Copies of this chain bind each other. A is one copy, B any other.
Amino acid sequence: MLNSNDGATPESNASSNHADRLAPAEEEVHLVPPLNFAMVETGIFRSGFPESKNFSFLQTLGLRSVICLCPEDYPKTTMEFLRSNGIELYQFGVEGYEEPFVNIPDDTIRDAMKVILDPRNRPVLIHCKRGKHRTGCLVGCLRKLQRWCLPSVFDEYQRFVAAKALVSNQSTGHRKTMDDQKPVVP
């Protein structure tokens, strides 16, 4: 394991998961995070709608619950994935709109926030369809509770709204640097 050079830090459940996620590829399996996936806080993740190709990745997060902000039912395969991994589903159906947005009802935000703030539900994944507006709004409210100033809250919100998926025209230089990386043994 790459980060076996420990001894100073007591490892918790969360950091063990973390260590696993830093482990080198024993076999060359590529994990596919859901669209617009990101870590919000320790034990709090955000993304677009999870698909079956994301299941292997999601298993590495050790999720206890998922907050789904879409009104649609999950496909059978997704329900089965949650069941077999012991993941609780909290669904708060909010309609998705293009601009101009409608407000998400206060009660929905409040109820979803209660789920996030209860540590027994974490690690938790918050998601909507594209991981932009509905998810971003809930994360923005969390940032306010964390006392982030509003310009920083909006910057983060905007970063996901502006995201274009599957970019293929990156700089060749940067692609090459990342592509060349072999596991580093400290």
Interface residues, chain A, with chain B CB atoms under 8 Å away: 2-3, 5-15, 17-19, 21-22, 24-25, 29-33, 35-43, 57, 99-104, 106, 109-110, 113-114, 117-120, 122, 133, 136-137, 140-160, 162-168, 170-171, 173-181, 183-184, 186
A54 nearest in chain B by CB position: B152
Known pairs A21-B41, A156-B38, A162-B163; A119 contacts B3 (CB<8 A): yes
Closest CB in chain B relative to A53 CB, distance in Å: 9
Q: Which residues of B contact A157 (CB under 8 A)?
A: 167, 170, 174
- Report the separation of the CA atoms of residues A90 and B119 in the bound assembly, to the nearest whole angstrom: 34
Most chain B C-beta atoms within 10 Å of own C-beta, residue among A35, A140, A164: A140
Q: Say how many copies of this protein the assembly contains.
A: 2
Asked if B117 and A2 make an inter-chain contact with CB atoms under 8 angstroms apart, the answer reads yes
Asked if B5 and A118 make an inter-chain contact with CB atoms under 8 angstroms apart, the answer reads yes
- Report the separation of the CA atoms of residues A176 and B150 in the bound assembly, to the nearest whole angstrom: 11
Asked if B148 and A103 make an inter-chain contact with CB atoms under 8 angstroms apart, the answer reads no
Known pairs A5-B118, A119-B5, A141-B178; A162 contacts B162 (CB<8 A): yes
Asked if B149 and A170 make an inter-chain contact with CB atoms under 8 angstroms apart, the answer reads no
Closest CB in chain B relative to A30 CB, distance in Å: 4
Q: Which residues of B contact A168 (CB under 8 A)?
A: 151, 154
Asked if B41 and A141 make an inter-chain contact with CB atoms under 8 angstroms apart, the answer reads no
Asked if A22 and B2 make an inter-chain contact with CB atoms under 8 angstroms apart, the answer reads no
Q: Which residues of B contact A7 (CB under 8 A)?
A: 120
Asked if A120 and B9 make an inter-chain contact with CB atoms under 8 angstroms apart, the answer reads yes
Q: Which residues of B contact A25 (CB under 8 A)?
A: 145, 147
